[in-house]
Structure 1
Amino acid sequence: MVLAELGGKLRDTLRKLHSSSQQGNVTSQILDDILSEITRALIESDVNVKLVMQLRDNVKEKVQDLIQDDDNDNDDDNDNNKGPSRSQAHLSKTVQRAVVDELVGLLSPGQNKGYTMRKGKSNVILFVGLQGAGKTTTIAKFANYYQRRGWKTAMVCADTFRAGAFDQLKQNATKLRVPFYGSYSEADPVIIAEDGVNQFIKDRYEVIIVDTSGRHKQESALFEEMQEISAAVQPHNTILVMDATQGQAVYDQALAFHNAVSVGSVIVTKLDGHAKGGGALSAVSATESPILFTGSGEHFDDLDPFHAQSFVSKLLGFGDVRGLMEAMKGVGGDAKAQEELVEKMAKGEFTLRMMYTQFEKVMSMGSLGKLAGMMP
Structure 2
Amino acid sequence: MVLADLGRRINSALAQINKEPVIDAKVLDALLKDICAALLGADVNVRLVSTLRNNVKNTVNIQEVAAGINKRKLIQKAVLDELCKLVEPGIEPYKPKKGRVNVIMFVGLQGSGKTTTCTKLAYHYQRKGWKVCLVCADTFRAGAFDQLKQNATKAKIPYYGSYTETDPVQIAHEGVEKFKKEGFEIIIVDTSGRHKQEAELFEEMKQISAVVNPNNTIFVMDGTIGQAAESQAKAFHEAAEIGSIIITKMDGHAKGGGAISAVAATHSPIIFIGTGEHIHDLERFEPRRFVQKMLGMGDISGLLETVQDLKLDQNKNLMKNLEQGIFTIRDMYEQFQNISQLGPLSKMMQMMPGMSEMNFEGSDELGAQRIKRLMTIMDSMSEVELDSDGKLFHVQPKRIQRVARGSGTSVREVEELLLQHKAFQGMVKKFGGNKGLFKGMGAPGMDNSKSSPQQMMTQMQRMMPRGMNMNEMMRQMMGGMGGGGLGGMGGMPDLSQMQNMMKQMGLGGLPGMGGNRK
* Superposed pair shares fold, TM > 0.5: yes
Structure 2 residue 298 is matched with structure 1 residue 300? no
- Give the 5 Å matches for 1:283-362: 283-285=262-264, 287-331=266-310, 332-334=312-314, 336-342=316-322, 346=326, 350=328, 352=330, 354-362=331-339
Please name the residue that 1:138 is paired with: 117
2:138 to 159, 162, 176: 159
Q: 2 CA distance for matches of 1:98 and 1:344?
A: 45
Please name the residue that 2:169 is paired with: 190
Cα–Cα, structure 1 residues 262 and 2, in superposed 2: closer, same or farther, change >3 Å? farther
CA contact (8 A) 1:113 1:289 kept: no
Structure 2 residue 28 is matched with structure 1 residue 48? no
SS of 1:18 mapped into structure 2: coil
* Structure 1 unaligned residues grouped into runs of 5+: 70-83
Structure 2 residue 73 is matched with structure 1 residue 93? yes
CA contact (8 A) 2:59 2:78 kept: yes
Displacement, 1:50? 1.8
SS of 1:375 mapped into structure 2: coil
Q: 2 CA distance for matches of 1:308 and 1:165?
A: 33
Please name the residue that 1:34 is paired with: 31
Q: 2 CA distance for matches of 1:187 and 1:13?
A: 56
CA contact (8 A) 1:24 1:85 kept: no
CA contact (8 A) 1:108 1:289 kept: no
- Give the 5 Å matches for 1:58-97: 58-64=55-61, 66-67=62-63, 85-87=67-69, 90-97=70-77
CA contact (8 A) 2:225 2:259 kept: yes
Please name the residue that 2:210 is paired with: 231
Please name the residue that 1:73 is paired with: none
CA contact (8 A) 1:8 1:316 kept: yes
Displacement, 1:237? 0.8
Identity %: 53
1:36-86 CA deviation, whole Å, 9 max, x = no partner?
A: 22112111101122222222221111111x3379xxxxxxxxxxxxxx952
Cα–Cα, structure 1 residues 113 and 68, in superposed 2: closer, same or farther, change >3 Å? closer
Cα–Cα, structure 1 residues 37 and 167, in superposed 2: closer, same or farther, change >3 Å? same
Q: 1 CA distance for matches of 2:11 and 2:325?
A: 45
Displacement, 1:144? 1.1
Displacement, 1:344? 8.4
**Which amino acid is the alignment partner of residue 224 of structure 2?**
T
Q: 2 CA distance for matches of 1:312 and 1:143?
A: 25
Cα–Cα, structure 1 residues 320 and 129, in superposed 2: closer, same or farther, change >3 Å? same
Runs of 4+ aligned structure 1 residues displaced above 6 Å come to: none
Displacement, 1:120? 2.0
SS of 2:17 mapped into structure 1: helix
CA contact (8 A) 1:109 1:289 kept: yes
CA contact (8 A) 1:124 1:210 kept: yes
**Which amino acid is the alignment partner of residue 68 of structure 2?**
R
CA contact (8 A) 1:244 1:277 kept: yes
1:24 to 6, 22, 25: 22
Q: 1 CA distance for matches of 2:225 and 2:142?
A: 23
SS of 1:3 mapped into structure 2: helix
Give the TM-score, by structure 2 length.
0.64
**Which amino acid is the alignment partner of residue 93 of structure 1?**
K
Q: 2 CA distance for matches of 1:17 and 1:244?
A: 32
SS of 2:58 mapped into structure 1: helix
Cα–Cα, structure 1 residues 196 and 10, in superposed 2: closer, same or farther, change >3 Å? same
Please name the residue that 2:344 is paired with: 367
SS of 1:300 mapped into structure 2: coil
Paired residues in the alignment total 352
Q: Which one scores higher on RCO, CA 8 angstroms, separation ≥ 6? A: 1
Structure 2 residue 89 is matched with structure 1 residue 109? yes
Cα–Cα, structure 1 residues 288 and 368, in superposed 2: closer, same or farther, change >3 Å? same
2:240 to 249, 261, 264: 261
**Which amino acid is the alignment partner of residue 356 of structure 1?**
Y
Displacement, 1:124? 0.2
Aligned-residue RMSD, C-alpha: 2.2
CA contact (8 A) 2:127 2:309 kept: no
SS of 1:217 mapped into structure 2: coil
SS of 2:187 mapped into structure 1: strand
1:177 to 132, 135, 156: 156
Displacement, 1:271? 0.9
**Which amino acid is the alignment partner of residue 259 of structure 1?**
E
- Give the 5 Å matches for 1:183-222: 183-222=162-201
Please name the residue that 1:77 is paired with: none
Q: 2 CA distance for matches of 1:68 and 1:30?
A: 15
Displacement, 1:250? 2.2
CA contact (8 A) 1:268 1:295 kept: yes
1:79-104 CA deviation, whole Å, 9 max, x = no partner?
A: xxxxx9524xx222112111111221
Please name the residue that 2:442 is paired with: none
Q: 2 CA distance for matches of 1:260 and 1:199?
A: 29
SS of 1:240 mapped into structure 2: strand
SS of 1:142 mapped into structure 2: helix
